[in-house]
Structure 1
Amino acid sequence: MDAAALDAARISLAPGGDVILPLAMAVIMLSVALTLKLESFAFLKTAPLRFLGAASVQIIGLPLLTLIVIHAITPPASIALGMIVVACCPGGNVSNFYTLMARGDAALSVALTSVSSLSAALLTPVSIVVWTSLYAPSAALVDEINLSALTFIVSMTLILALPLAAGMVFARYFPNSARAMRPWLVWTAIAALAMMAGGGVAANGDLILGAGLTVVAIAIGHNALALMLGAVSGRVLGFDARGRRALTFEVGIQNAGLGLVILLGQFQGIGGAAAITGAWAVWHLISGGALAGWFRFLDRRRRARTNALTNAE
């Protein structure tokens, strides 16, 4: 893999991309907001310290772990940037599905997703700026594209906060319509993103394919560490088995789709960053599903042993 070429590669957008990408980002956040409910924040009253500890693992712990990994393996600047962006994104709603599938604490999962999504309007852009500055090659790469930190934070906050607020208000007063709209909004955003990025990916196809094995290996390793961080943190914070499963998925499943939109729209589609984020977006679905299946297998085996002991008595 030619690191310099990968850092220099850009996923160019089709005409109109500078307008469509912010709209796609807004649609993604609107679709998230349509699922948020005030009841989801009940954990802040019932177990505030433990809940805030779990949220901190998502918001601070994963980016910190990512920075440590980056300094340990010293990947190309663009790949490091993509890893940081993924780590700074909020959790995805897919984590709620996997938690339910794994018989984890679904209420805790929804609450953590709600908090990370709501705080993302400000914390995601601020976190990206802060954590990127702590790895010199990525900081230099960001300087090369003349990204203004203040402009990035303000514009991203507006793009993320407005649809979040609008979506929560709409879901509050029109819950049935919100449930019906959400799947259509998600697929609309995905289709817009695919059309915008498709040409750029094709133009840099040889380069991205050449880096494929490295990118996939880093994405798999990074995701595995994120899942382990969630599991270990759940034990340290004193959650029961169901709570630990929920935190495992909340930390290990990130809204990589949002990260990809941010990279394409705000970071000029830096090739390596977009590649690692795209790999994450695919792999965490595979790893999450496999882990949920493993948890269900363990539950079945435990029940079988319990039944066998009961029958033996």
Structure 2
Amino acid sequence: MLPVDEVRLNFNPASLALLNAILAFIMFGIALDTRVADFKRVAKMPLAMAVGIAAQFLLLPAFTYALTLLLKPTPSVALGMILVACCPPGNISNVLTHRAGGNVALSVSMTAISNLLSIVLMPLNFAFWGSLNPANAALLKQIAIDPVEMVLHIVLIIGIPFALGVFVAERFPRFADRVKVGARRFSLFALVGFILAAIAGNWRYFLDYVGLVLVAVAIHDALAFATGYGSAALMGLKEYDRRAVSFEVGVRNAGLGLVLIFSFFGGLGGMAVVAGVWGFWDIIAGLVLASWWGRRPVAVPRSVA
């Protein structure tokens, strides 16, 4: 069996184009549930928003880097963990927040803001934390990555679909309200579907290396949820808000990570396996946590009741 750092997973150009289109639709679906008022709402809960954004773009990548130093995975697995940590939240975070009895308005607003910020912050974060460890940096040097091209790619599959979805939601609100539930469900199935497609096309490799990354992914995912909840608690946020921040930080868009891995990293084995396993583990862990919290309702503050 080849070392995981030497494995390159295969994904043909047509399938990759389809993945890009599906991911763009997922972002469009997220935006259908977003209004300009969601961005204005940030001014009404600045502390909660600041905590959530800082936890996602500052704390989680830093803690992930520290975790890679502790666990000492192979460089490609470490890079996969860092890339996932730098991804924006997925729209299932809003569903899980609702199921957990958390602040859905905060969750939706944070998802919108985070996805916009990730267009710039995601490649910057990955470039910084990914190259900090000399072992990871050596592997990155073997991969020709054009940062401008990566930003443009993220703009195409996140920025433009998201802006179009917000435009449709504002200009045609009745249409958006009719289709957003279906779009959200389709987005979830599509996300699972193209993660399955990535795994199915490289089944042998996933079977060979899943045991290598499963424990790391489980620990990493628990760290992400704990980072969200812990930072919110430390800053004195109510339980209602803590649950929303937990899911916004704990749920990462692993599908976006897979697309970038196949597009820019040549399907690098450890990175792809981490993103694929994360995509499933993240949803399972999120549903378990949301169901547990859902059985322990909290009081809704009067200002949002």
Q: With structure 2 as the length reference, what TM-score do the two structures score?
A: 0.87
Q: How does 1:128-277 map to 2 (within 5 A)?
A: 128-179=126-177, 180=179, 182-183=183-184, 186=187, 189-190=190-191, 193=194, 197=198, 200-202=201-203, 205=204, 207-277=205-275
Deviation at 1:18, TM superposition (A): 5.1
Q: Which residue of 2 is the match for residue 306 of structure 1?
A: none
- Measure, in 2, the Cα distance between the counterparts of 1:41 and 1:106: 14
Cα gap change, 1:298 to 1:133, in 2 (>3 Å): same
Name the count of aligned residue pairs.
296
Q: Which residue of 2 is the match for residue 16 of structure 1?
A: 14
Deviates more, 1:149-158 or 1:270-279: 149-158
Deviation at 1:188, TM superposition (A): 8.3
Q: How does 1:1-12 map to 2 (within 5 A)?
A: 5-12=3-10
Deviation readout 1:58-81 (Å, 9 max, x if unpaired): 121111111111112121111111
- Measure, in 2, the Cα distance between the counterparts of 1:252 and 1:271: 23
Write the letter of the residue equivalent to 1:201. Answer: N
Deviation at 1:199, TM superposition (A): 5.9
Q: Which residue of 2 is the match for residue 308 of structure 1?
A: none
Deviation at 1:239, TM superposition (A): 0.6
- Structure 2: give runs of 5+ residues left out of the alignment: 300-305
Deviation at 1:198, TM superposition (A): 5.2
- Measure, in 2, the Cα distance between the counterparts of 1:236 and 1:222: 20
Asked if the contact 1:125–1:157 (Cα under 8 Å) also holds between the matched residues in 2, the reply is no
2:98 alignment partner, SS class: helix
Q: With structure 1 as the length reference, what TM-score do the two structures score?
A: 0.85
Deviation at 1:220, TM superposition (A): 0.5
- Measure, in 2, the Cα distance between the counterparts of 1:196 and 1:225: 27
Superposition RMSD in Å: 2.5
Q: Which residue of 1 is the match for residue 302 of structure 2?
A: none
1:269 alignment partner, SS class: coil
Deviation at 1:189, TM superposition (A): 5.0
Deviation readout 1:77-115 (Å, 9 max, x if unpaired): 111111111111111221111111111112111121111
Write the letter of the residue equivalent to 1:149. Answer: P
Deviation at 1:211, TM superposition (A): 2.1
Q: Which residue of 2 is the match for residue 37 of structure 1?
A: 35
Write the letter of the residue equivalent to 2:232. Answer: G
- Measure, in 1, the Cα distance between the counterparts of 2:137 and 2:27: 27
Q: Which residue of 2 is the match for residue 116 of structure 1?
A: 114
Deviation at 1:196, TM superposition (A): 6.0
- Measure, in 2, the Cα distance between the counterparts of 1:90 and 1:170: 22
Identity of aligned residues (%): 33
Write the letter of the residue equivalent to 1:193. Answer: F
Deviation readout 1:203-225 (Å, 9 max, x if unpaired): xx1x4323222211111100111
- Structure 1: give runs of 5+ residues left out of the alignment: 303-313
Q: Which residue of 2 is the match for residue 59 of structure 1?
A: 57
Asked if the contact 1:126–1:153 (Cα under 8 Å) also holds between the matched residues in 2, the reply is no
Deviation readout 1:45-65 (Å, 9 max, x if unpaired): 223244212211112111111
Q: Which residue of 2 is the match for residue 125 of structure 1?
A: 123
- Measure, in 2, the Cα distance between the counterparts of 1:178 and 1:264: 32
Asked if the contact 2:247–2:286 (Cα under 8 Å) also holds between the matched residues in 1, the reply is yes
Deviation at 1:152, TM superposition (A): 2.1
